[in-house]
Amino acid sequence: MLRVRCLRGGSRGAEAAHYIGSQLGRSFTGWVQRTFQSTQAAAASQNSCAVDDNKVTAPVPEDCPVCSYNEWDPLEEVIVGRAENACVPPFSVEVKANTYEKNWEFYQKFGGQSFPRDHLKKAIAEIEEMCNILKMEGVIVKRPEPIDWSVKYKTPDFESTGMYAAMPRDILLVVGNEIIEAPMAWRARFFEYRAYRPVIKDYFHRGAKWTTAPKPTMADELYYQDYPIHSVQDRHKLAAQGKFVTTEFEPCFDAADFIRAGRDIFVQRSQVTNNSGIEWMRRHLAPEYRVHTLSFKDPNPMHIDATLNIIGPGLVLSNPDRPCHQIEFFKKAGWTVVSPPLPLIPDDHPLWMSSKWLSMNVLMLDEKRVMVDANEIPIQKMFENLGISTIKVNIRHANSLGGGFHCWTCDIRRRGIL
C-alpha cells in the first residue's frame, strides 16, 4: 500500500514549488551560460531540467528502506552522527576560509589532535540522549561506525588527518530512494564516507539506490592558495563578488548545501560547493528534479540549513542576518517566510565551526513536531505560535563541533511520496 503525504497535485505546496521553479529557472539561465565554457551545453542542461508536473512518477517499492523527498514528512528512520574520536582538522587554506579569525589559533595549535576531551565527552552524552528521544518518538536510529580520525593519510596530491563522522547531513543527500554520497571539499573529510559505508551497504542490499559523486583529487588547484581573508569585511566583499576559496578545477560539494522541497531542490554556491558540483547534481537529478541556486548576504557561506531551512509545505525559516537575494520568489509563490528570533547561545561558549544560528538548524519530525534546542526559548515560542509542538533537547556541547539537529542527522525514510 502506498502512503501519500507529500506535495499533492493542486496543493499550495506544489503550486508554490512549481512557481519558484519556473521563476528561478529563468533567472539563472544567463548565469549558467556565463559560468560554463560551453554555453550550448549549459543551455541544454537547463532545458533538460524542465519537468511535467502531471507526469506519473514510478513509486518507490514499499519495502525499500530509503525514501525521502522533503524536510517535513513524518520521519521514520534517520542516521545520527558520532562525536567519538573527533579530531580538529589541520589548518589548511580551505579550513581557514571557513572559520573565523578568533578560532585560528585553536586550529593552529590543535590541528590533527582530538577536540578537548571533556567537551567531547559531554557532546557524546548529548547525542546519545538525542538518539534515545528520537527512538521514544518512534523513529528508527542508525549510526556510523566509530573510526580513529587521528590517523594520517596521504594521496598523490595531499596528506592530512581526518575529522569526524558527526554530521551525516554534510556527506549524504537522500532524494527519493537514492542515497547520494557527496564528494566533500575539505581534505580532512576526504575519507569520511568510510564511517557510513556499512549502513549504506545495508540499505543498498535491501533495495536502495546508491550513488557516489565524482571524488575530487583535492589537489592544490581546487583552492585559491592565497585566498585573501583577514576580516569579516573581506569575506563580505569576496562573497558579494562570487569569489570563494574553492575554484572550478573539479566538481565539489557538501550535501548540506542542498535542501529539498519535493521536485524542487535549492542549493547555494559556498566555500565548499562550487558551480561545477551544482551542475553535476543538476544533470544527475534531471529531468525529474529541478535544482535552483540561491544566494545570500553571507560572508562565509557553508551549508544552507542555518541560513534557509524549509520546515513545511510553503513554510520557510529565513535567517535575518543572512537575507536571501531571491526571497521574493518564495513570497510571490504564496510561501510564508518566517524570520527566527536571535539565538541565546552565550558569547563565551565555543563554536569552533559554526555561528549561533544553529538555533534554526532544527529537525522536523513531521509538519507538527520539531526537535529544537532546549536552551532556545524564543524559537520554541515561535514554533508554538506556528502550531508546531516542540521536542526540547540540549545539544549545546555538540553544537561546538559545527552542527545543530539538522546537521547531526540525515533522514533516511519519511512517510510520503513525491
The answer to whether residue 87 is domain-embedded is yes
Comparing CA positions, the residue from 216, 198, 168 lying closest to residue 68 is 168
Catalytic residue among 254, 298, 305, 411: 254
> How does 320-340 read in b/e, with b if 16+ C-beta sit within 10 Å?
eebebebbebbeebebeebeb
Helix locations, 137-245, DSSP H:
168-171, 197-205, 232-240
In the chain, how many domains are there?
1
The answer to whether residue 143 is domain-embedded is yes
The answer to whether residue 320 is domain-embedded is yes
Contacts of residue 53, Cβ cutoff 8 Å, sequence gap at least 6: 9, 14, 18, 263
Looking at the DSSP bridge assignments, the partners of residue 181 are 172, 212
The answer to whether residue 30 is domain-embedded is no
Catalytic residue among 373, 407, 410, 411: 407
CB 94 within 8 A of CB 216: no
Helix locations, 257-403, DSSP H:
275-285, 327-332, 377-385, 396-399
The answer to whether residue 153 is domain-embedded is yes
Cα–Cα dist 198/184, whole Å: 19
Q: What's the domain range around 124?
A: 75-414
Cell reading at 91: 589548518
The answer to whether residue 41 is domain-embedded is no
Q: Is 254 a catalytic residue?
A: yes
What CATH number does the domain containing 398 carry? 3.75.10.10
Q: Is 366 a catalytic residue?
A: no
Per-residue pLDDT of the chain (418 residues; tens, 9 = 90+): 333 343 333 344 545 555 565 556 554 444 444 443 333 333 344 443 344 555 556 666 678 999 999 999 999 999 999 999 999 999 999 999 988 888 999 999 999 999 999 999 999 999 999 999 999 999 999 999 999 999 999 999 999 999 999 999 999 999 999 999 999 999 999 999 999 999 999 999 999 999 999 999 999 999 999 888 777 677 778 888 888 999 999 999 999 999 999 999 999 999 999 999 999 999 999 999 999 999 999 988 999 999 999 999 999 999 999 999 999 999 999 999 999 999 999 999 999 998 999 999 999 999 999 999 999 999 999 999 999 999 999 999 999 999 999 999 999 999 998 9
The answer to whether residue 22 is domain-embedded is no
Catalytic residue among 18, 303, 397, 406: 303
The answer to whether residue 212 is domain-embedded is yes
Centre a 10 Å sphere on the Cβ of residue 351 and count the other Cβ atoms it contains: 18
Cα–Cα dist 203/410, whole Å: 14
Q: Is 49 a catalytic residue?
A: no
